[in-house]
Amino acid sequence: MSRYSRQEKLFGMEGQKKLSAATVTVAGCGGLGTYLSLLLTSAGVGKIRLVDGGKPSETDLNRQFFYTGAKGFKADILSEKLREVNPDVEIETICRFIEEDNAPETIGKCDVIADCLDTVRSRLVINKYAVLNNIPLAHGGIDGFYGQATFMIPGRTPCLRCILRGTDERVPDSIAPIVSLIASVQASDIVKFMTGSGETTAGKLFTVFAGTNDYSTVAISPDPKCPVCGRIQ
């Protein structure tokens, strides 16, 4: 029995091979990135590129459990933990923050980008790169008891610029159960997309407000005037 035998029943040996051949760039190694990369490493994704220029701080530890007591860049610390979880997965670390002018070197070539960032500004940078390079993007975001996720496929679904509103004027509240829930939706979308099994949240927005146990999935439409993906420029 292989370590993947329980999940191979879901998408077959062929699906597992596709997963093992996939490269995923995880943009951001905070709460979402910690959980998501752990889930993808366990699932046997072939290569994971961890991108984050930050170092752990005390206020991260209520949800970023791998960083307790460690020094250095988050991406490097996380990569060591992930190698212990599954040594078959190739882990690359890029200890830099993603900016528009370094996106080709930091995000790089990959099959999917996981949006595990925490600002609108940085999300719009990876969104633009994803649309221009035709790379699917698994978006996740949280604020307190609220969380949302959608799987963006360039040319088929709205891009993040079509749906993201708001500013970066305040740091969102954050609690581990909601972070891990949204990271799980993102990781589930990536696994389903790579193996061709089930349905992703493409064209839909999954939302949760755990304060009142409200979970929903609503259809979303591209903005024809979107400056990134719109047909009317």
204 DSSP β-pair partners: 219
Task: Work out whether 153 is an interface residue with Zn ion (CB under 5 A).
Answer: no
Q: Which residue is nearest to Zn ion (CB)?
A: 226
Task: Work out whether 43 is an interface residue with Zn ion (CB under 5 A).
Answer: no
Neighbours of 218 (CB within 10 A): 9
Residues in 155-184 at the binding interface with Zn ion, rule: CB under 5 A: 159, 161-162
CB nearer to Zn ion: pick between 162 and 183: 162
Q: Supply the minimum distance, in Å, between the C-beta of residue 163 and Zn ion.
A: 8
Q: Supply the minimum distance, in Å, between the C-beta of residue 131 and Zn ion.
A: 7
Q: Three-state DSSP class for 137?
A: strand
Token pair for 197: 């099994």
CB nearer to Zn ion: pick between 82 and 159: 159
Q: How many residues bind Zn ion (CB under 5 A)?
A: 6
Task: Work out whether 29 is an interface residue with Zn ion (CB under 5 A).
Answer: no
* CA nearest to 55, candidates 34, 72, 35, 37: 72
d(CA 177, CA 102): 33
Q: Supply the minimum distance, in Å, between the C-beta of residue 161 and Zn ion.
A: 4
d(CA 225, CA 25): 28
Q: Supply the minimum distance, in Å, between the C-beta of residue 187 and Zn ion.
A: 24
Q: 155 in the Ramachandran plot: left (φ > 0), alpha (ψ -120 to 50) or beta?
A: left
Residue of the chain from 75, 149, 152, 226 that contacts Zn ion (CB under 5 A): 226
How long is the chain?
233
Task: Work out whether 126 is an interface residue with Zn ion (CB under 5 A).
Answer: no
CB nearer to Zn ion: pick between 57 and 221: 221
Token pair for 84: 């212990």
Residue of the chain from 38, 91, 114, 229 that contacts Zn ion (CB under 5 A): 229
- Candidate segments 20-28, 59-67, 211-219, 225-233, binder of Zn ion by CB under 5 A: 225-233
CB nearer to Zn ion: pick between 54 and 230: 230
Q: 44 in the Ramachandran plot: left (φ > 0), alpha (ψ -120 to 50) or beta?
A: left
Task: Work out whether 152 is an interface residue with Zn ion (CB under 5 A).
Answer: no
Cα 26 versus chain centre, distance: 6
Token pair for 4: 């993947």
CB nearer to Zn ion: pick between 38 and 117: 117
- Class of residue 97 by CB neighbours under 10 A (exposed 0-12, middle 13-18, buried 19+): middle
Name the residues that contact Zn ion, by CB under 5 A: 159, 161-162, 226, 228-229
